[in-house]
A and B are shown apart, each in its own frame.
Chain A
Amino acid sequence: MKRSRLLGLAYLSPYLIGLMVFTMIPFAASFYLSFTDYNLMSSPRWTGLENYIELFFHDRTFRRSLSVTLLYVFLTVPLKLGFALFIAYILNYKLRFINLFRTAFYVPSILGGSIAIAVLWRYIFAYEGLVNMLLAYIGIEPINWFGDPTNALFTLTLLRMWQFGSAMVIFLAALQSIDKSLYEAAAIDGASKAHSFIFITIPLITPVIFFNLIMQMVQAFQEFNGPYIITQGGPLKSTYLLPLYIYDEAFKRFDMGYASAIAWVLFVIIMALTLVAFWSSKKWVFYAGDKRS
């Protein structure tokens, strides 16, 4: 049904204005600012590639921050997705109380980025906190969760793994939509459960795996609340993720040009990995003929 094109654009207008003012122009401005020296006091001064040269060749904090960020993302995303899929798989059996379990698993995700949860994490993983008290019962020495540079990042990862709920709900919805007769046919042909899982379940849910992978990755690269509240980037900058570094440069030191350059490096990394995922998805994401929409 075709109606006046102008009418359509009229309803679209909030989005068009928002797209220009809050996304496109800032996006371009950020690219421009990354080649300038700008402290908000005087107007931006063009410095060419200076910011990037400083970043890549002289800035040791940046190098540290970049490697910590990559480590964090490559730890968090697969662990979280693997765990979410595992639990969704178990929940997919006809069990009693499934809704109760699903709710229980989803609650931590709902509270997600809440500062209160970061505060809670800080307390339960404190040296004398809940986790070490419980470990003492089974005779394990207290662990220095946030005080030790090798543990701190992993403890932040645990916080995000704890919020596997929304990825799990998406997996569960996908698992529930798989036609049960496929499994029955495979079982008659003598396939074991493991075979069915690898050759039926996984291929059929690859679109959802792909979706979760991209969303979780984009999100993990922008993690801010956890390290900001719990570790402030320490100890020894072992949790100083790039968003923290950008925040410090931009809103503490008001070095907007340099902060924009870091933001652009982060952006390019996220985009590159997203493109790799999209490009490779042709090889591993399987769309059933009638489900493509």
Chain B
Amino acid sequence: MSNLSDISDVATTHAAALAEARDANNRQIRNARLSAALRYVILFGVGLLMLYPLIWLVGASFKTNSEIFANPGFLPNSPTLDGYQKGWETSTPYTFGRFFLNSFLIIVPKVIGTAISCTMVAYAFARFDFPFKRVLFSSVIAILLLPNVVTRIPQYILFRDLGWLDSFLPLWVPSAFAGDAFFVFMLVQFLRAIPDDMEQAARVDGANSWQTLIYIVVPMLGPALISVCLFQFMWTMNDFLGPLIYLSSVDKYPVSLALKLSIDTTEAFEWNRILAMSVLTITPALIVFFMAQKYFIEGISAGGVKG
């Protein structure tokens, strides 16, 4: 009998425990659902805050000037290409096409110079031994943290003495000497993580260090090099202070300066021209970003980045 009552006792406590557990479980699921919902609400809200200004910008660039400050919505009431047509013409003898061309004339040599010099330097740091290696590598990190503001004035004087003012040279040359320490750092980290077996094998087969670099190391660095080029493209496209200091003739202006110029010279109420040109200015960067997103995310996750 006692056994039986024991069993029934156990059964009832068991049932009670089960019910309690079920309740707790339900409560947990409910809580989990609630907090998941809350998270989506927050993320969606923040996402809207992030993107709506950009969405509004695109819509507003097709609005008439009177509508820009009257309609907070995205869709224009009476869409017009007026902003694009007149904005493209600019108030200078040049169209925005010229300024885009200038931007690319600055960007392309700069990106190539960056890629070549940073690869060589990263190869040296990751695969060779030389005097003061530690100190020199620390200097890479020091430059990474060194505020440009302190070297800018003497650099300007140097480029003036060389007669390089109002040319693209001050914008190209420092990058061709591995001046962007962040990229050197990123490539060194990447290269250190790759074992050098392949390079050893190539050397056994009689390849010299230059051939090893070109045929073995560069292909392995592929994704990291793409990140370097993309970041440099983006930063140069957005760079404003460099061109502002060094370029003085309008026919050499990149888009960033041209946009500033159009703010200064456009009639105070011709807002849609400026907004339209703003849209065009950010378009190349957006296209590149969406085409190559994974390189950006990997690039900054790996090395951390300014921005």
A: residues with CB less than 8 A from B are 1-3, 5, 7-12, 14-19, 21-23, 25-27, 29-30, 33, 40, 87, 90-91, 93, 95, 101-117, 119-121, 123-124, 126, 128-130, 133-134, 137, 162-163, 165-166, 169-170, 172-173, 208, 211-212, 214-215, 218-219, 221-222, 224-225, 228-229, 243, 246-247, 250-251, 256, 259-260, 263-264, 266-267, 270, 274
Contacts and interface: CB of A to CB of B under 8 A. Distances in A.
A212 B304 contact: yes
B115 to A, nearest CB: 12
A90 B46 CA distance: 11
Contacts of A172: 301
Contacts of B260: 115, 229
Nearest to A112: B307
Given A18-B178, A224-B241, A267-B149, A3 B128 contact: yes
Contacts of A173: 301
A14 B177 contact: yes
A229 B256 CA distance: 11
Interface residues of B, number: 92
A16 B178 CA distance: 9
Given A111-B286, A166-B306, A170-B301, A12 B121 contact: yes
B10 interface: no
Interface of B: 36, 39-40, 42-43, 46-47, 49-51, 53-54, 56-57, 60, 68-72, 117, 120-121, 123-125, 127-131, 136, 139-140, 143, 145-158, 160, 174, 176-179, 184, 196, 200, 209, 213, 234-235, 237-241, 245, 256, 259-260, 263, 271, 274-275, 277-279, 281-282, 285-286, 289, 293, 296-297, 300-301, 304-307
A117 B282 contact: yes
A49 to B, nearest CB: 18
Contacts of A87: 43, 46
B197 to A, nearest CB: 11
Contact of B124 (A9, A128, A129, A259): A9
6 contacts: A21-B158, A110-B286, A111-B286, A115-B256, A218-B145, A266-B147
B69 A116 contact: no
A75 to B, nearest CB: 18
Main secondary structure of the interface of A (DSSP, over half): helix
A101 B47 contact: yes
A165 B50 CA distance: 10
B40 A95 contact: yes
Contacts of B151: 22-23, 26-27, 30
A21 B47 CA distance: 45
Contacts of A15: 117, 121, 124, 136, 140, 177-178, 184
A246 B149 contact: yes
Nearest to B48: A104
A247 B263 CA distance: 20
Contacts of A95: 36, 39-40, 43
A29 B39 CA distance: 53
Nearest to B35: A93
B282 A114 contact: yes
Contacts, number: 256
Contacts of B70: 133
Contacts of B51: 104, 107
Given A3-B128, A26-B158, A105 B152 contact: no
Nearest to B136: A12
Contacts of B301: 169-170, 172-173
B223 to A, nearest CB: 16
Contact of B278 (A16, A105, A119, A228): A119
B297 A102 contact: yes
6 nearest A-B residue pairs (beta carbon): A8-B128, A18-B177, A26-B154, A11-B124, A116-B278, A29-B154
A1 B259 CA distance: 52
B56 to A, nearest CB: 6
A113 B153 CA distance: 21
Contacts of A225: 240-241
Contacts of B285: 110-111, 114
B132 to A, nearest CB: 10
B47 A104 contact: yes
A247 B240 CA distance: 13
Given A120-B53, A120-B57, A11 B286 contact: no
Given A22-B151, A25-B154, A211 B50 contact: no
Contact of A19 (B139, B271, B306): B139
Nearest to B241: A224
Contact of A267 (B43, B69, B147, B281): B147
Contact of B153 (A7, A101, A260): A260
Nearest to A262: B149
Contacts of B72: 130, 133-134, 137
Given A7-B128, A114-B281, A266-B147, A123 B271 contact: yes
A208 B304 CA distance: 9
